[in-house]
Chain A
Amino acid sequence: GQQVMQIPQYQHVQEGEDFTTYCNSSTTLSNIQWYKQRPGGHPVFLIQLVKSGEVKKQKRLTFQFGEAKKNSSLHITATQTTDVGTYFCAGRDTDKLIFGTGTRLQVFP
């Protein structure tokens, strides 16, 4: 079955530094979704990408879908302490959503 891996597993940054997490799938994805989970909370939907090479922005967050639709990235510019949490990508496998392993972001003030 489909496998979705994310790197890095952990990232510690100083506030104001940039952050990027990468998502790689073993198979071609029809779409990819990104979620954020705050410590002690539940995952919350951020965005969905559908088209090959698609780029979407949400304020300081930039999401990219690879040309081959097998990888994706999330880049945060000038991190803030409010960005702390775990970021998950999730890819559609026929009629279900398979999540990546997640990247935990810690931001030091």
Chain B
Amino acid sequence: NAGVTQTPKFQVLKTGQSMTLQCAQDMNHEYMSWYRQDPGMGLRLIHYSVGAGITDQGEVPNGYNVSRSTTEDFPLRLLSAAPSQTSVYFCASSYSAGNSPLHFGNGTRLTVT
């Protein structure tokens, strides 16, 4: 049982480059979300989805796009990377929004130079 799978584990980008962080879950969870973690800032919600075809903005959505074409996949796109986006990114999923345990992926450590 894979749970939540994130790729890549590490990534280095130059300012202005674009990339997609992949997230897939095999638990048939309706709710999926992306968080970024910075020292002293906790986990901040970027975007989330309550089901296929539905996405919404979290606390810090600027500079990121998401889509949810299937229940399993929830990719996060950085359109034009900036040094301020250097962070650890976590994808998480749960059976329902906000009242069931979140299952996290192992994270992607992104550095933008």
Contacts and interface: CB of A to CB of B under 8 A. Distances in A.
Contacts of A59: none
Contacts of A108: none
Interface string A31-63: 101010000011111001000000000000000
Interface in A56-90: 88, 90
B53 interface: no
A97 B104 contact: no
Given A96-B48, A96-B98, A102 B105 contact: no
A42 B59 contact: no
A48 B94 CA distance: 13
A109 interface: no
Q: Chain B interface: which size bin?
A: 20 to 34
Contacts of B35: 99
B45 A98 contact: yes
A14 to B, nearest CB: 24
A42 B30 CA distance: 21
Contacts of A93: 98
A31 B59 contact: no
13 contacts: A9-B40, A30-B99, A31-B98, A43-B43, A45-B101, A48-B100, A93-B98, A95-B98, A96-B97, A97-B102, A99-B35, A99-B44, A99-B45
